[in-house]
Amino acid sequence: MTDVIVVGGGPAGLACALELRRRGVGDVLVVEREAQAGGIPRHSAHQGFGLRDFHRVLSGPRYARRYAERARGAGVEVLEQAMVTGWSADEALEVTSPAGRERMRAPAIVLATGCRERPRSARLVPGSRPEGVMTTGMLQQLALKGMPVGSRALVVGAEHVSFSAVLTLAHAGAKVVGMTTELPRHQTLAPFRVGAALRYRFPLWTRTAITRISGRLRVEEVELLELESSQKRVIACDTVVFTADWIPDHELPVMGGLELDSGTRGPRADTGLRTTRPGIFAAGNVLHGAESADIAALSGRHAARSVARWLAGDASWPAVVPIKCAPPLQWISPNAIGPSADPPRGCFLLRSREFTRRAALEIRQDGRLLWSGRARLTPGRSTLLPCEWLRAVDALGGPVQVSTRAG
C-alpha cells in the first residue's frame, strides 16, 4: 500500500516526496498531470532558480530536472500524465490517466497543486476575442514547444513573474512594447526592473489600466487608461500577456471539504502545513499566491516532516489557533498555529494590498500584545514575519490578529 500520495509534481511536491524518502517513508507516489514532472520551472529557460534550496543558481529546466531525477533516484514513484479529478465517496482520490480511471488511497495525502493567474475573462477586460491574449503560463507552454508567441507584446502586471514573462518573450523572439500596472510602481526588486529596462528598453506605465483589446484574427491594439488623468493611449501590439493576480488551484481542496482561508483563497493550513482534514497536508503555492520555486520547495520539505511524524504515530491531528489579518494586510501564511512546529523557514509570509515603507505591525491575541515591529510592505511581494512570538500564544485563546497601526 502507498504510504503517501503527493498531488502535484512541481518543486513543492517533488521536494516533499524526496524528503519523505530521506526520512524513511517507504512508498511515496507523486501524481503529475503534465507529461513531465518539474512544474513551472520547466517552462522558464532563464536563470534564477535554486538559490535557497540547492544553494546555487540554475536555469528553470535544469532545476526541474534535478528535482525529478533526485526524487526518482530516491525511490519515489512519479506518475505523469495523470490527473486527480476528485474524491470518491469513501475518501479515495479519483485519478484519470492514459491507463484509465482508478482510485488511490494512502494514510497521508499532500496537496501541492500550485496556483494560477486569473485570465482576461476573470479580470473583465472588454473588447474583441482575437488570438494572442494569454497568461504567463500559456506563454511558457508556447515557448517550451517552440510555437510562435507574437512579435510585439504588452505585459499586464509588474511583479516578479511579469519580468519573467519579459525574459520568456525575449527568448522567443518577441519585442516587449510596454508593461502596465494599476499600482503606483512596480512590485519586483529594483535590480530586476532596472536590468530589464536597460536590456530590453520598454516603458513601464504605472497607475494605468487596460480597458480594451481590439483585433480581428489576432490582437492589433490595446487601449490603456491613465487612472489619475483619465487620459487614454492606444498601443499597437499582437500579444497581450496577463501576469500575476494569482489564485491557488483550490478545486481539489474544495471538493475534499477542506476549509479555505478567506485571504489566501487556498486551503487553511497550520504551522505544520496540516489542513482542516486529518491526514491531508498542503505545500507550496496551493497555499497562497505565487512564491518562487525554491520557497515552494522548502515548503514541501517542511510538510514532509509533519507527514513523517503523522505516519509514525508521533502526532495527533491538533486543534489550532487561527491567524487573522486586518486591512490593508491581505493574507498571512500559514494561517493557523499548531503545536510544536514553527512555520516553513521559521517565518510567516505576509502580504499587503498597499505600499508602506515602514509599516508598524502588531500581533495580538485577545487584546494581549505578542509582538510589534516595522516592515516594508509591497503588494505582490511577501514580507517575512518572524515567529518568536509563537511561544506566547495561548493554545486555548482566541484567534491571533495581525494588523498595522498608525505611527
Q: How many CB atoms lie within 10 A of CB 36?
A: 16
| Residue 386 one-letter amino acid | P
Strands 133-135 and 239-242 turn out to be parallel
DSSP 304-318: HHHHHHHHTT-----
341 touches 314 (CB < 8 A): no
Give the CATH number of the domain where residue 39 resides.
3.50.50.60
Chosen domain end from 293, 317, 341? 317
pTM: 0.92
Chosen domain end from 213, 244, 275? 244
CA of residue 160 relative to chain centroid, distance: 12
Q: Which of 167, 229, 161, 226 is nearest to 202 (CA)?
A: 167
Do 225 and 278 lie in one domain? The reply is no
Model pLDDT, residue 155: 96
Do 349 and 404 lie in one domain? The reply is yes
Do 54 and 19 lie in one domain? The reply is yes
Residue 349 is part of which domain span? Answer: 320-407
From CA 301, how far away is CA 343, in angstroms rounded?
11
Model pLDDT, residue 191: 66
Do 163 and 51 lie in one domain? The reply is no
| Segments in the chain below pLDDT 50 | none
Residues in the chain: 407
From CA 366, how far away is CA 229, in angstroms rounded?
45
Model pLDDT, residue 303: 98
Q: Which of 358, 362, 275, 375 is nearest to 326 (CA)?
A: 362
Chosen domain end from 206, 228, 244? 244
- 47 grid coordinates: 536563470
Model pLDDT, residue 187: 78
Model pLDDT, residue 198: 65
153 touches 175 (CB < 8 A): yes
Q: What is the CA radius of gyration of the chain?
A: 22
- Mind spelling out the 3-state secondary structure of 356-385? EEEEEEEEEECCEEEEEEEEEEECCECEEE
From CA 42, how far away is CA 92, in angstroms rounded?
30
Q: What three-state secondary structure class fits 347?
A: strand
From CA 159, how far away is CA 22, in angstroms rounded?
35
Do 351 and 394 lie in one domain? The reply is yes
Model pLDDT, residue 1: 78
Q: Cβ contacts of residue 251 below 8 Å, gap of 6+?
A: none
Do 98 and 21 lie in one domain? The reply is yes
Model pLDDT, residue 407: 61
Do 305 and 354 lie in one domain? The reply is no
Alpha-carbon torsion (56, 69, 243, 354), positive or negative: negative
Do 49 and 88 lie in one domain? The reply is yes
Do 149 and 58 lie in one domain? The reply is no
Helix H or strand E encompassing 385: strand 383-386
Question: What's the domain count of the chain?
Answer: 3
Do 329 and 341 lie in one domain? The reply is yes
Rama region for 197: left / alpha / beta (φ>0; ψ in -120 to 50; rest) = alpha
Alpha-carbon torsion (152, 167, 383, 268), positive or negative: positive
Do 186 and 220 lie in one domain? The reply is yes
Strands 356-365 and 368-377 turn out to be antiparallel
Do 303 and 224 lie in one domain? The reply is no
Model pLDDT, residue 237: 97
From CA 161, how far away is CA 143, in angstroms rounded?
15
Q: Cβ contacts of residue 378 below 8 Å, gap of 6+?
A: 187, 352, 355
